[in-house]
Amino acid sequence: MTLEGSGASRLLQLFSGDNTHHTTITTAVIRTPLPNLSVRIDGETIDTPSQGIIYADGVKDKLTVNTRVIVAIANDGQLVYILDKAVI
């Protein structure tokens, strides 16, 4: 499945796709801030580097170290979409 368009468009394609690629919604923590953003998905032992992270401009100011975020994991774990800050 090739995703095209803006980040929002690609996210929509993941949820309305052909059901062969699963998307998981979970939480993560910001490990390093922008511009070299990385996140650690809950339950994982390694960080996802900035090359695999997509985020909306509206959450950019919230992406500080140790901030918990809601993420969608797609493309067999190769893409992490930061949806918003998690309030727990």
Whether the bond between 35 and the residue before it is cis, its omega within 30 degrees of 0, is yes
Q: Is 16 exposed, middle or buried (0-12, 13-18, 19+ CB in 10 A)?
A: exposed
Q: What is the pLDDT of residues 1-60, one digit of tens each?
A: 566 677 666 666 666 655 556 778 999 999 999 999 999 999 999 999 999 999 988 898
pLDDT of 84 strictly over 90? yes
Q: Which domains does the chain show, CATH number per domain?
A: 23-85 (2.40.50.140)
- State if pTM tops 0.75: yes
Residue 15: predicted pLDDT: 63
Which token pair is 9? 């468009």
